[in-house]
Amino acid sequence: MNPLKISIAVLISVSLPSNGQQIINGSRTLLGNWDASGAATTKPLKAGTAIPAACGLGEMFFKTDATAGANVFLCTGTNTWTQISSQAGSLTSVFGRTGAVTSQNGDYSFSQISGQATVGQLPSSVQYFQSGAGAPAGSCTPGQNGYLDTINLDYWFCDIANGWKKTLSTTNSGSFTLTGQTGTVPATPTAGLATIYLNSTDKTVHSVNDSGTDIQYAGWGEANTWGAFLQDFSASTIKIPLAAGFTTVTNGGLGYDSTLNQLHAAINGVDSVIPTRVTAAPVSGNCVKWSSNLQLQDSGAVCGGGGGSGTVNAGTAAHLAYYASSTAAVSDTGATLNWVSPILTIGVSGVTTGILNLASATATGSVSVTPASASGNVTLTLPAVTGTAAVAATSTAPNQALFATSTAGAPGYRSIASTDLPNPVYQTTFTSQTSITILGATHLRATRFVNVQCWDSSTTPHTVEPDSVTVNTGTFDIVIKFANLQTGACSVL
């Protein structure tokens, strides 16, 4: 037998397995090509649910419980398994980067991100809101944290570290309601700021400025107490209370009567009317008069002397006028006052009898009394002079007058002494007065027809017009009244 042929036969008998299933134990090293394309099924990889802890480079493992398409793992290094994904197409790069790719900013847009960011993931420059039932509690960062109370629908914000404050909101429609908590005066705010709060005592709104000044604000019908500091209304228009028939008796009260169109003010607990002036500027030194609209206006002439009160009625030219009684209107006496320089004539105009002539420019000067008729009597009431004998002389002797003396018991003539007659002008001074009383026994004018003139206390005295002058018809006491406090002097002629 040919030895070569025998050897081939042996090899053929060993390498040709039978048609039955074969189990190969032990290690096998395959050289050449291994073609399994005709096999009914192939399972070339080790399979299981647990990846072996150890592996050698090039090993493969099929993990049966992995996501379909991602079941194959490769051992890319000693004991290092790498899962292989089976998505369509070949993956050449991630976000334009190849090799070992790690995440970086810009990998995903905001729309590609899902889930909820935690507080720690947000930067300090971002403000975010949280929500919960009831007021917030816990720490917060100023300017970053916001909070919504889902029960009371109140918004809260963090103004200082771990300090929450509630904001007030409105629906911007319908009536506005603001409800706040009351309390004591808050601390003075920092420079440039002001604090508003509700006072728990007077239940009104107050503010505190950066100087610590507390200001109360009141609404209609509420009392408003201003603090002791400057109230500057120079840029405002102030409207005072206005009402028909307005009056006030509370000192400091001010208002406008829309019925009589006049201002009222309370002075010393009494309602008073404040006179107003027309817009035309008056001339200094001129008197004032009431206009048709009950306002003061320039009379167009300087003021005259004299005093008195009452209403001046129309009368006859050159006639004297007088007050028949206190507070009465001025009446026409029916007598004419003729002043023909240098003679003052008192009597009835055009009648040469029943007159008193005072001549001052004659050589000797004279006072003549002419009876109303040839048989008329002239009656002189003369003061009594005691302790002096009568002097026999004619009634026409100069510087002599008729006196009743106590020694002679009958009238006689003697020279006039400086003490016999009262001073022709009585004067009294006063300081800060609105009312002056001069007794008749002091000024010695036994008549109610007197002339009162007053001046102020300036270096060059100016005439002061009294508000009223009254003379008692029995005692001849004179009462002089001024509208304001005056200092100066008054004379009685």
Out of 60, 83, 106, pick the residue that ends a domain: 83
Q: Is residue 139 part of a domain?
A: yes
Rounded CA-CA distance 56/80 in Å is: 8
Residue 289 is assigned to a structural domain of this protein: no
**pLDDT in the model for residue 435:** 94
pLDDT in tens, the chain (493 residues): 444 444 443 444 444 455 556 777 777 777 888 888 888 888 888 999 999 999 999 999 999 999 888 899 999 999 999 988 765 555 667 777 766 677 888 888 877 888 777 777 777 777 788 899 999 988 888 888 899 999 988 889 988 888 898 887 666 666 656 666 677 788 899 898 888 888 888 777 888 899 988 888 766 666 666 666 677 778 888 888 899 999 999 998 999 999 988 899 999 999 998 888 878 888 888 888 888 777 888 888 877 644 444 455 667 776 777 776 766 667 777 666 555 544 555 555 555 555 565 554 444 455 565 555 555 555 554 444 444 444 443 444 444 444 444 444 444 444 455 455 555 678 899 999 999 999 988 888 888 888 899 999 998 889 999 999 999 988 899 999 999 999 999 998 8
Domain assignment present for residue 292? The answer is no
Quick one: pLDDT at residue 398?
44
Q: Residues of 209-220 as b/e, b for ≥16 C-beta within 10 angstroms?
A: beeeeebbeeee
Encode burial over 103-114: b for 16+ CB neighbours within 10 A, e otherwise. Answer: eeeeeeeeeeee
* Residue that is last in its domain, among 117, 137, 167: 167
SS3 state of residue 15: helix
Do 434 and 477 fall into the same domain? yes
In this structure, is residue 318 part of a structural domain? no
- Same domain for 480 and 440, yes or no, is yes
Residues 434 and 393 both lie in one domain: no
pLDDT value at position 485?
Answer: 93
Q: What angle do CA 106, 109, 112 make, to 5 degrees?
A: 130
| Two structure tokens written together for 289 | 């008069």
415 and 437 in a single domain? The answer is no
Query: Which structural domain, as residue segments, surrounds residue 487?
Result: 426-492
- The answer as to whether 62 is a domain residue is yes
Domain contains 415 = yes
pLDDT at 256: 92
Separation CA 462–CA 31 (nearest Å) = 146
Same domain, 408 and 432: no
pTM to 2 decimal places: 0.27
Whether residue 465 is found in the same domain as residue 480: yes
Note the pLDDT of residue 195.
87
pLDDT at 247: 93
Dihedral sign computed on CA atoms, order 216, 222, 225, 230: positive
Amino acid at 479: V
Are 416 and 431 part of one and the same domain? Answer: no
Residue 51 lies in a domain: yes
Q: Looking at the structure, do residues 430 and 487 belong to the same domain, yes or no?
A: yes
Half-sphere exposure of 440 (CA within 13 A, CB side): 14
The total of structural domains in the chain comes to 4
Per the domain annotation, does 287 fall within a domain? no
415 and 434 co-located in one domain:
no
- Where b means 16+ CB within 10 Å and e means fewer, 428-442 reads bebeebeebebebee
